[in-house]
């Protein structure tokens, strides 16, 4: 008999968990669509040369090859490891058929060719939005993306959260005023990004290793990481550092402009946090992460930022963008483990129509189809055993309403398995609509 078992890193949900995940996907999608983001989907597979085009070598890749490959086979293929590289390729390839600014959402599995290790997903859902413009992308788009995060987090009801924002211009401006050259700036950003993992002492120790950095610069960088405030307080909080440059001013002004465009409800959950750095090289302005207050060690729910040029590897056209992604599978795992979401629904079925005997099955089918047409997912029991057995099935599946039909009079009765009440149904469609 063939061996079965979990392949490490490839999560698989039970039906009640999948129903909960679908509910989350549809909540997020409804909000994305309410802002006019349009769905796209790219193949799971890209050319390896496409995936490698951004020079990202730290993402391990799953190659895909026919078991029976021969010399007629085409180019080297691999599974995509994120949805940003496929988006870049898509926009470069189909740009002439798209309206700009191109606002898209994309909910697909991505694959990371990591070594199998505990707690790391190698296949997971990512759910992205991005706004891509031709030539110039105003800050209103950054503000819109941050607003969407707030609305989604409110809708998910996974508890209190903090939308942490920062600006790469501001960080680069500060660090270069402290005497760091471009490559030292980049190194400092990668180090500060590790603050939550290695703590202030760890960051200090690593910063000190940057060649040519002064002790004063290290201390000032550490001090900036303690700044957490609203954007309108930012200039005041930075003043004691006495660091002034056009880039710093621009970074602060960008944050203020974005902040002022946020709805009040989102402002209440947002904070400018200068300890936020994000490791990835390609961000050039806004950066954003979203933390669940109760689960800081979980890391970021929504992460992203602004980049000056999405697809420079594929086209000469300048395509600035801003976007965020949520790692959905990890989030669902947290929600299941911590009980943040109900998994009590075991199937879509809301009502079960019983069958007295096989001769009456058509009658039960007719009643069920009337309920379905009125929007109520309904099953007919698949056999005709004693009614007790049929009610047991409804109970085991968490189906609340069980219907009984009198074959002679065609009278339909319903038992509510929660209240234990039994009543006659006069009008099937009407009853279905009040329940559905």
Binders in 35-54 for its own copies, by CB under 8 A: 35-50, 53
For the CB of residue 216, give the shortest distance to its own copies in the complex, in Å.
Answer: 40
Interacting positions 109-148 with its own copies (CB under 8 A): 109, 111, 113, 115-116, 123, 131, 133, 137-138, 140-141, 144, 147
Asked if 429 and 416 touch (Cβ cutoff 8 Å), the reply is: no
Candidates 188-196, 389-397, 406-414, 421-429: pick the segment binding its own copies (CB under 8 A): 389-397
**Per CB under 8 A, 362 contacts its own copies:** yes
List the one residue from 80, 82, 83, 103 that touches its own copies (CB under 8 A). Answer: 103
Q: How far apart are CA 203 and CA 193, in angstroms?
A: 9
- Size of interface with its own copies, in residues (CB under 8 A): 106
Q: Kindly tell me the burial class for residue 35, based on how many C-beta atoms sit within 10 Å of its own C-beta (0-12, 13-18, 19 or more).
A: middle
Interacting positions 318-347 with its own copies (CB under 8 A): 346-347
Nearest to 168 by CA among 54, 251, 271, 279: 251
Asked if 218 and 180 touch (Cβ cutoff 8 Å), the reply is: no
DSSP classification of residue 360: G
Q: Which is closer to its own copies, CB of 80 or CB of 164?
A: 80
Interacting positions 10-39 with its own copies (CB under 8 A): 10-15, 18-19, 21-22, 33-39
Which token pair is 170?
């501001």
For the CB of residue 51, give the shortest distance to its own copies in the complex, in Å.
Answer: 9
Q: Is the dihedral of CA 296, 299, 303, 307 positive or negative?
A: positive
Asked if 382 and 372 touch (Cβ cutoff 8 Å), the reply is: no
For the CB of residue 275, give the shortest distance to its own copies in the complex, in Å.
Answer: 29
Q: Which is closer to its own copies, CB of 237 or CB of 361?
A: 361
**Per CB under 8 A, 56 contacts its own copies:** no
Nearest to 253 by CA among 240, 234, 266, 267: 234
List the one residue from 179, 263, 279, 296 that touches its own copies (CB under 8 A). Answer: 263
Q: Which is closer to its own copies, CB of 184 or CB of 376?
A: 376
Q: Which is closer to its own copies, CB of 274 or CB of 351?
A: 351
CA 96 to chain centroid: 28
For the CB of residue 98, give the shortest distance to its own copies in the complex, in Å.
Answer: 7
Q: Which is closer to its own copies, CB of 362 or CB of 433?
A: 362
Asked if 153 and 269 touch (Cβ cutoff 8 Å), the reply is: yes
Backbone angles phi, psi at 94, to 5 degrees: -110, 10
Interacting positions 213-252 with its own copies (CB under 8 A): none
Sheet containing 300-307: which strands, arranged edge to edge? 38-39, 102-111, 123-132, 321-327, 300-307, 283-292, 161-167, 270-273, 228-229
For the CB of residue 406, give the shortest distance to its own copies in the complex, in Å.
Answer: 20
Q: Which is closer to its own copies, CB of 123 or CB of 193?
A: 123
Which token pair is 357?
């005997």
For the CB of residue 393, give the shortest distance to its own copies in the complex, in Å.
Answer: 7
Residues contacting 18, CB < 8 A, separation 6+: none
Interacting positions 67-86 with its own copies (CB under 8 A): 67-68, 72-75, 77-79
Interacting positions 288-317 with its own copies (CB under 8 A): 313-316
Interacting positions 157-216 with its own copies (CB under 8 A): none
List the one residue from 120, 197, 223, 383 that touches its own copies (CB under 8 A). Answer: 383
Q: How far apart are CA 230 and CA 273, in angstroms?
A: 9
For the CB of residue 2, give the shortest distance to its own copies in the complex, in Å.
Answer: 4
For the CB of residue 170, give the shortest distance to its own copies in the complex, in Å.
Answer: 22
For the CB of residue 45, give the shortest distance to its own copies in the complex, in Å.
Answer: 6
Q: Which is closer to its own copies, CB of 63 or CB of 244?
A: 63
Q: Which is closer to its own copies, CB of 276 or CB of 322?
A: 322
Q: Which is closer to its own copies, CB of 35 or CB of 295?
A: 35
In our burial notation (b when 16+ CB lie closer than 10 A, e otherwise), range 132-171 reads bbeeebebebbbbbbbbbbbbbeebebeebbbbbbbbbbb
**Per CB under 8 A, 269 contacts its own copies:** no
For the CB of residue 356, give the shortest distance to its own copies in the complex, in Å.
Answer: 14
For the CB of residue 182, give the shortest distance to its own copies in the complex, in Å.
Answer: 24
Q: How far apart are CA 45 and CA 65, in angstroms?
A: 11
Q: What ranges in 239-341 are assigned the alpha helix state H?
A: 246-260, 264-267, 328-338
């Amino acid at each position: 008999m063939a061996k079965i078992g979990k392949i490490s890193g490839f999560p698989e949900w039970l039906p009640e968990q999948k129903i909960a995940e679908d509910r989350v996907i549809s909540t997020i999608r409804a909000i994305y669509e309410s802002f006019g983001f349009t769905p796209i989907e790219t193949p799971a597979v890209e050319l390896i040369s496409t995936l490698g085009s951004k020079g990202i070598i730290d993402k391990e890749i799953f190659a895909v090859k026919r078991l029976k490959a021969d010399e007629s086979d085409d180019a080297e293929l691999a599974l995509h490891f994120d949805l940003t590289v496929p988006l870049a390729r898509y926009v470069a390839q189909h740009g002439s058929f798209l309206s700009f600014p191109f606002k898209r959402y994309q909910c697909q599995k991505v694959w990371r060719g990591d070594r199998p290790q505990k707690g790391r997903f190698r296949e997971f859902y990512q759910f992205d939005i991005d706004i891509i413009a031709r030539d110039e992308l105003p800050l209103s788009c950054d503000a819109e993306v941050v607003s969407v995060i707030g609305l989604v987090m409110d809708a998910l009801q996974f508890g209190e959260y903090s939308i942490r924002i920062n600006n790469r211009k501001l960080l680069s401006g500060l660090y270069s005023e402290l005497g760091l050259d471009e490559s030292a700036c980049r190194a400092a950003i990668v180090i500060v990004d590790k603050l939550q993992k290695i703590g202030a002492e760890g960051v200090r120790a690593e910063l000190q290793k940057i060649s040519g950095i002064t002790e004063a610069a290290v201390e000032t960088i550490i001090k900036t990481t303690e700044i957490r405030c609203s954007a309108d307080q930012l200039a005041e909080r930075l003043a004691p550092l006495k660091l002034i440059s056009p880039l710093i001013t621009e970074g602060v002004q960008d944050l203020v402009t974005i902040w002022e465009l946020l709805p009040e409800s989102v402002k209440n959950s947002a904070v400018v946090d200068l300890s936020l750095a994000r490791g990835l090289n390609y961000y050039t302005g806004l950066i954003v992460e979203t933390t669940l207050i109760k689960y800081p060690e979980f890391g970021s729910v929504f992460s992203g930022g602004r980049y000056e040029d999405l697809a420079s590897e594929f086209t000469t056209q300048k395509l600035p963008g801003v976007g965020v992604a949520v790692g959905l599978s990890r989030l669902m795992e947290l929600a299941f483990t911590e009980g943040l979401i109900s998994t009590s629904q075991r199937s879509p079925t809301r009502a079960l129509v019983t069958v007295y005997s096989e001769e009456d099955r058509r009658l039960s089918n007719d009643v069920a189809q009337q309920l379905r047409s009125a929007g109520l997912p309904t099953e007919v029991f698949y056999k005709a055993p004693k009614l007790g057995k049929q009610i047991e099935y409804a109970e085991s599946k968490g189906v609340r309403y069980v219907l009984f039909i009198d074959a002679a009079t065609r009278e339909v009765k319903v038992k509510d398995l929660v209240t234990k009440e039994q009543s006659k149904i006069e009008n099937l469609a009407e009853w279905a609509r009040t329940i559905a």
